[in-house]
Amino acid sequence: MDVRCHAERVVLPTSPPETVACCAPLVRQPLGAADAVALARTLKAVADPARLRLLSLVAAHDGGEACVCDLVDALDLSQPTVSHHLRVLVEAGLLTREKRGVWAYYALVPAALNALAAVLTAPAGGARSRSAC
């Protein structure tokens, strides 16, 4: 499950997990329709207040993982709603789920977040930037 460069491949709507859009600088060249849909799908997973707080809570938790009960307690949402958001984040490849006993522990996938950040990064001052992946 590595996040490699040059992923021109686009997956079907019934996407397998962890299909994070790789380094497509967004400001280098106009991205195609299919790539835009794929990128938007991942960004939509992050573009929600509850999901942002979940990512933040999981990342800031001890050991970099947290169980659902902790998250339900931290947010003002019902347990099914929290489970739904966690599912969305896992399907987007941003979180991993590991069940230990009765509890389900969620952990961050830093590479996925960094891939998103890399796509959004724009050349602040200069015109052309390095194309190193």
Q: Compare residues 2 and 130 and give the one whose CB is closer to DNA.
A: 2
* Cβ atoms of 113 and 100 closer than 8 Å: no
Q: Compare residues 17 and 75 and give the one whose CB is closer to a copy of itself.
A: 75
Residue 81 binding a copy of itself, by CB under 8 A = no
Binding mask 18-57 for a copy of itself (x = CB under 8 A): --------xxxxxx-x--xx-xx--xx-xxxxxxxx-xxx
CB atoms < 10 A from the CB of 46, how many?
16
Q: Compare residues 17 and 104 and give the one whose CB is closer to a copy of itself.
A: 104
CB of 40 to a copy of itself, least distance (A): 4
Give phi and psi for 57, each to the nearest 5: -65, -45
Length of the chain (residues) = 133
Q: Tell me how far apart the alpha carbons of residues 35 and 50 are, in angstroms, rounded to a whole number.
A: 26
Residue 108 binding a copy of itself, by CB under 8 A = yes
Structure tokens at 50: 């509850």
